[in-house]
Amino acid sequence: MGLADYKDLPRVAFGDLPEMNDALMAAARRGDKTGTCWAVASGTLGAFVGLRLVVHDSKGREGAVVEIVELTERRFDDIDDEWGRIESDGDRSGWRAVHEAYFRRLGQWEPNMAIWCARFRLVEVLDAGAAQ
């Protein structure tokens, strides 16, 4: 398959900073990143198990298609080492530092905030993101 086969899918960039978008898309392309999260206060953002998304980098290069396989609501302070690895942040402490800074930039930070945790599987690596 190729990008044309996914033209109707939603597009997403992980993170809120250009260098973060690029690094996280590259991690998803390698299969190192198999999950993402966002504040419950933002809503579900249309996410559901089975949803496929085209992941792009900071320049809009589409580099991967992923499919959500699990969507759970958790508390920020309940995140464990496994989830840190799923999001490619190493462990719980690495994950917490990165995500506290992220949620602070968005004005959403609270130590026990509710977050959506979406686990996904890599469906296809797209050539458009080959520069990653």
- Given a cut of 60, whether residue 130 has pLDDT beyond it is no
Average pLDDT for the chain: 92
Give per-residue pLDDT as tens, 116-125. Answer: 999 999 999 9
Give per-residue pLDDT as tens, 44-88. Answer: 999 999 999 999 999 999 999 999 999 999 999 999 989 989 998
pLDDT of residue 129: 54
Question: Residue 17: what residue type?
Answer: L
DSSP structure string for 50-102: T-EEEEE-TT--EEEEEEEEEEEEEEGGG--HHHHHHTTSSSHHHHHHHHHHH
Report the run of H or E that residue 26 belongs to, with start and end. Answer: helix 18-30
Q: Give how many domains the chain has, as a whole number.
A: 1
Examine residue 132 and state whether it is found in any structural domain, yes or no: no
Examine residue 18 and state whether it is found in any structural domain, yes or no: yes
Rounded Cα distance between 18 and 23, Å, is: 9
pTM of the model: 0.90
pLDDT confidence tier of residue 132, bands split at 50, 70 and 90: very low
β-pairing, 11-12 vs 52-56, is parallel
Report the run of H or E that residue 123 belongs to, with start and end. Answer: strand 114-125
pLDDT confidence tier of residue 104, bands split at 50, 70 and 90: very high
Examine residue 31 and state whether it is found in any structural domain, yes or no: yes
CB 63 within 8 A of CB 128: yes
Report the run of H or E that residue 119 belongs to, with start and end. Answer: strand 114-125
- Given a cut of 60, whether residue 112 has pLDDT beyond it is yes
Residue 120 burial (10 A CB sphere; 0-12, 13-18, 19+) = buried
Q: Which CATH number belongs to the domain containing residue 12 in this structure? A: 3.10.400.10
Examine residue 54 and state whether it is found in any structural domain, yes or no: yes
Name the percent of the chain lying above pLDDT 70: 96
- Given a cut of 80, whether residue 89 has pLDDT beyond it is no
CB 25 within 8 A of CB 57: yes
The whole domain housing 17 covers 3-127
Give per-residue pLDDT as tens, 20-41. Answer: 999 999 999 999 999 999 999 9
